């Protein structure tokens, strides 16, 4: 599974490939050294899903490890309701729905579908303000964008990348280390 892409890395790559690179470099370091308070809160929130503490009801799959052979992806889902068929990705705070959030959700959708689950709906849930946003299943155009993202990740050349968005750099925890 060496060439499999972690689903959680899709959002990082969309934000900035250098961010993904630095995440990989500092992954083994203490999170108290290299995580912002927002990231720490997000990790704490996700722990309840990874440990399947959301609910004991058997209709929920929580923190399930998923994979897709077609896209060579692997990761975990937050929450899937087997009865309603709704797959939900939870974030600590969603003030805007970014493409990276959608691509993570689509990746989970493709993995679950390939594993034989019937996913009928998608949703993003903002924990801090208790807001749920329904997301359409990906249409052909969204699938093409998703597949292009996977191709970009697989063919990415760090040496020739220049971040086009100064705003992303200004909001990046690695801005002091970056050479983009």
Q: What is the pLDDT of residues 113-155, one digit of tens each?
A: 999 999 999 999 999 999 999 999 999 999 999 999 999 999 9
Predicted structure pTM score: 0.82
Contact 70, 114 (CB under 8 A): yes
Question: Between 3.90.320.10, 3.50.40.10, 3.40.50.11540, 3.40.1160.10, what CATH number should domain 5-170 receive?
Answer: 3.90.320.10
Q: How far apart are CA 23 and CA 177, in angstroms?
A: 12
Looking at the predicted structure, is the pLDDT value of residue 15 above 70?
yes
* Sequence spans of domains, the chain: 5-170
| pLDDT at residue 21, as a whole number | 78
Q: How far apart are CA 45 and CA 43, in angstroms?
A: 5
Q: What is the pLDDT of residues 44-73, one digit of tens each?
A: 554 554 555 556 778 999 999 999 999 999
Contact 41, 104 (CB under 8 A): no
72: left (phi over 0), alpha (psi -120 to 50) or beta: left
> How does DSSP classify residue 91?
E
> How does DSSP classify residue 104?
H
Using only C-alpha atoms, what is the Rg of the chain?
A: 16
Q: How far apart are CA 70 and CA 111, in angstroms?
A: 9
| pLDDT at residue 131, as a whole number | 94
Q: How far apart are CA 39 and CA 91, in angstroms?
A: 10
């Amino acid at each position: 599974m060496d060439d499999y892409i972690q689903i959680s890395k899709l959002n990082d790559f969309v934000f900035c490939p250098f961010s993904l690179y630095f995440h990989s470099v500092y992954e083994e370091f203490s999170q108290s050294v290299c995580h912002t308070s927002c990231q720490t809160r997000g990790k704490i929130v996700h722990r309840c899903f990874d440990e399947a503490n959301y609910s004991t009801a058997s209709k929920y799959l929580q923190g399930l490890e998923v994979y897709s052979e077609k896209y060579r992806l692997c990761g975990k889902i937050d929450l899937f309701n087997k009865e309603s068929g709704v797959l939900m990705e939870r974030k600590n705070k969603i003030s805007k729905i970014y493409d990276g959030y959608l691509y993570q959700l689509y990746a989970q959708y493709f993995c679950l579908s390939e594993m034989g689950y019937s996913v009928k709906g998608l949703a993003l849930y903002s924990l801090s303000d208790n807001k749920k946003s329904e997301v359409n299943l990906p249409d052909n155009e969204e699938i093409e964008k998703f597949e292009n993202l996977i191709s970009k990740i697989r063919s990415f050349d760090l040496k020739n990348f220049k971040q086009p968005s100064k705003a992303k750099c200004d909001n990046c925890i690695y801005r002091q280390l970056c050479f983009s």
